[in-house]
Amino acid sequence: MEADLTFLVVLSSLILSFYFILHRKFKASKPLNLPPGPPKLPIIGNLHQIGGALPQHAFRELAKKYGPIMHLQLGQISTIVVSSPQLAKEVFKTNDLALASRPYTLLADIVLYKSSDVALGPYSDYWRQMKKIITVELLSPKKVRSFSCFREQEVDHFIEFIGSNCGKPVIIRDKVTRMINNIVCKSSFGDNCKQQDVLIELVDELGRLVSGFSVADLFPEFGFLSVISGMRSKLRKIHKSLDKIFDDIFEERKNKRERNEGSGDDLLDVLFTIKESGSLQVPITDNNIKAIFVNIFVGGTDTSAMTIEWAMTELMRNPNVMEKAQKEVRDAFKGKKKINESDLQELHYLNLVVKETLRLHPSLPLLLPRECREQCQIDGYDIPLKMKVIVNAFACAVDPEYWDDAESFKPERFEQSSIDFMGTNFEFVPFGSGRRICPGIGFGVISVKSALAQMLYYFNWTLPYELSPKSIDMTENEGGVAIKKVPLMVTPTLYTSF
Ligand code: HEM
């Protein structure tokens, strides 16, 4: 009897185990319901369908044929591309946590101290802690306001430069980039850095390499490609130079802090104080702080600078918008010699101009890619673990179902509308949305507005060489950031003295 009972128990346990194994196997092997996509070629997958055009344009064209959610094979990387505001909402809201990670990139591994930064780092307890620090301690509205003196100084220098070039054609890009980089430098380290020219060059180069479409990132299993393409050595060189610049700045600051001479409120001091407080759940190192500064420099410089250049380009192409924006600024500041940041609040139309610029010229048209960390579904399709997910923010911002005359520059479209760029209107996400939203919105937008307001207040602007507004070349450069291919050249003349 006892033997029978043991036999029964063993038998039922065996049956149960067998059932569970089969059940699991059946579940695991259930075919995934992936989104549709174009036919793929061996090895390169769909790369030939996006080569030749800018990826945001190529994806948009493919989406017209295959739908707002597509599955593409980009080299060895299986990728989902989402191109409609409705499905962007499923990425940023419904599945925000499941899709909160970033895919591995060689750039982040080498330059960003083993991906220990916020922008390209994978989702983890460490990442959550660092995102909180950057949002709450480094780039909070209060902190951004506290840097207004740096912005005012730098915009003044820029306006003086323009003033000294009145009547001559000027390429504004380099000076605008310098102005923004000086603001970022002073906010970060209390002053301009010693090797700032080198830093600007490195930041610029990184911005160009950040696309995630490099051969090394598309074929990660063929490690030799990163070597023969020269990518690995280029990234190592950039890393070495950046690391040295930061080491020198950090050492000088540590010495000052030992002598109680730290400034106490620039970003470096804030980070050192947090690091030394011992109160962090995940302790941080100097390298982690350096990774954050690379994010701040790369994220904060070219994005804002190129938004200013695109805004000026659109104003030159649309003289009626320029006239309206100048009238607003000149009425608001009438007779003032000095413009303060607090004066900018009155500039309602300029706000609309900035919004419309960010709609048609988002600095990162494909945002930064996400990676799936928990299987989920979008539009009823399966998104498996590790899948790369790209949201085509540019396609959403010109989706004719959401925007009238979507391709035209019309700031008035925002006049009676509550649509904003803070990440809740999925047809307009130039800063992303959800857990991965840009933490530098306030910092970036105020610099852009401040520079534009003063450019429009003090100067009249014309195109040199009798160029007509519609002949301005609007082509974007290749790469992850949508910088204007041909720099804008404009001729300022003084409207009022400063
Ligand atoms: C006009 C100016 C700017 C634009 C258009 C812009 C745009 C963006 C975009 C599109 C993303 C990716 C969001 C996503 O993947 O969903 C991003 C992320 C980020 N931006 Fe900005 N940005 C600007 C200014 C700044 C500034 C001034 C800083 C810092 C000082 C900054 C720091 C960052 C960081 C750290 C991230 C990574 C966030 C994350 O992955 O969680 N950005 N930005």
Per residue in 61-91, pLDDT (tens digit) is 999 999 999 999 999 999 999 999 999 999 9
Per residue in 241-298, pLDDT (tens digit) is 999 999 999 999 999 998 987 667 899 999 999 999 989 999 999 999 999 999 999 9
Ligand 1 atom closest to Cα of residue 435:
41
What is the Cα–Cα distance from 392 to 369, expressed in whole angstroms? 10
Per residue in 10-38, pLDDT (tens digit) is 444 444 444 444 455 445 567 999 999 99
Atom 3 in ligand 1: which residue has the minimum CA distance? 303
Q: With 90 as the cut, is the pLDDT of residue 110 above it?
A: yes
Query: For residue 191, how far is its CA from the centre of ligand 1 (angstroms)?
Result: 23
Percent of the chain with pLDDT over 90: 82
The DSSP letter of residue 465 is: G
- For residue 185 the two structure tokens come to 């430098």
Q: Please report, for the chain, the start and end positions of each structural domain, with discontinuous segments joined by +.
A: 27-494
Ligand 1 atom closest to Cα of residue 370:
15
- The better pLDDT of the pair 340, 58 is held by 58
- The better pLDDT of the pair 315, 2 is held by 315
What integer pLDDT is reported at residue 205 of this predicted model? 87
Average pLDDT, the chain: 92
The DSSP annotation for 36-94 comes to P----BTTTBTHHHHTTS-HHHHHHHHHHHH-SEEEEEETTEEEEEE-SHHHHHIIIII
Question: What mean pLDDT comes out for the span 157-169?
Answer: 97
Q: With 80 as the cut, is the pLDDT of residue 141 above it?
A: yes
| Listed residue (112, 119, 133) closest to 274, CA to CA | 133
Binding site for heme: what residues are annotated? Answer: 438
Per residue in 193-224, pLDDT (tens digit) is 778 889 889 988 888 787 768 899 999 999 99
Full-prediction pTM beyond 0.85?
A: yes
Query: For residue 223, how far is its CA from the centre of ligand 1 (angstroms)?
Result: 29
Candidate of 303, 391, 424 to mutate for ligand 1, largest count of ligand atoms within 8 Å of Cβ: 303
Query: For residue 130, how far is its CA from the centre of ligand 1 (angstroms)?
Result: 14
Atom 20 in ligand 1: which residue has the minimum CA distance? 438
Domain spanning 27-494: CATH 3.30.300.20: no
| Listed residue (490, 348, 330) closest to 411, CA to CA | 348
Q: With 80 as the cut, is the pLDDT of residue 99 above it?
A: yes
Per residue in 175-184, pLDDT (tens digit) is 999 999 999 9
In the beta sheet, which residues pair with residue 190?
Answer: none
Neighbours of 444 (CB within 10 A): 24
What integer pLDDT is reported at residue 437 of this predicted model? 98
